[in-house]
Amino acid sequence: MIAELVAEVGPLWHEHQARLTARPRRRAVGTGAKHRFVFVDRLLATLVSLRHGTTHDVLACWFGVDCSTITRAIGEGRPLLA
């Protein structure tokens, strides 16, 4: 089930990322935060949040990232699932 969802939503995510990278850069290439929270983890965090109402603090602890990363991931993931 998760593999099917990843296969369905994955191209939408990569299309979204491509639009972001197509914008004019404000910083030099290679600067800024390095993303450790991969697409599948972002998708799982969004699904758990929507299904169980788990707080962002708990999800951040489970996935080993900051709470703001979870908030951003869920904010980006919800429109893709809709």
CB 17 within 8 A of CB 35: no
User: How many domains does the chain fold into?
Assistant: 1
Q: Quick check: is 14 in a domain?
A: no
Q: Rounded CA gap, 50 and 52, in Å?
A: 6
Domain assignment of residue 56, yes or no:
yes
> What average pLDDT does range 8-14 have in this prediction?
82
- Classify residue 28: in a domain, yes or no: no
Percentage of residues of the chain with pLDDT beyond 90: 44
pTM: predicted TM-score of the whole model, two decimal places: 0.72
Asked whether the predicted pLDDT for residue 5 surpasses 70, the reply is: yes
Q: Which domain holds residue 47?
A: 38-82
Q: What does the pLDDT look like over 18-42, one tens digit per residue? A: 777 777 777 777 776 666 788 899 9
The predicted structure's pLDDT at residue 34: 66
pLDDT at 46: 94
Position 65 in a domain? yes
What does the DSSP 8-state code read for residue 30? T
50 found inside a domain: yes
